[in-house]
Amino acid sequence: MGWDITEIGLSPIGQHRIDPVYLDRVFYYLVVLLVLGWGGTGCWLDVIRRRLPNWWLMLGGVGLIAITGMVLQHKGTLADDFASAVAAIGTGIGLWFGLYVAVFIINRRSMGAGDVKLAAILGGGVGVVSGEPVAAAIWIAVAILLAAGLTLLIAVVTAGKRGWGDRRKAKTARVPASVPHGPAMLAATAIVWGISGGHLQVP
The pTM assigned to this predicted structure is 0.77
**Residue 181 in contact with residue 151, Cβ under 8 Å?**
yes
Cα 23 from Cα 44, distance rounded (Å):
32
Instruction: Convert the pLDDT of each residue in 11-37 to its tens digit.
Output: 444 454 555 555 567 777 787 888 899
Residue 54 neighbours by CB distance under 10 Å: 11
**pLDDT attached to residue 188:** 95
Cα 165 from Cα 146, distance rounded (Å):
29
Domain residue ranges in the chain = 5-199
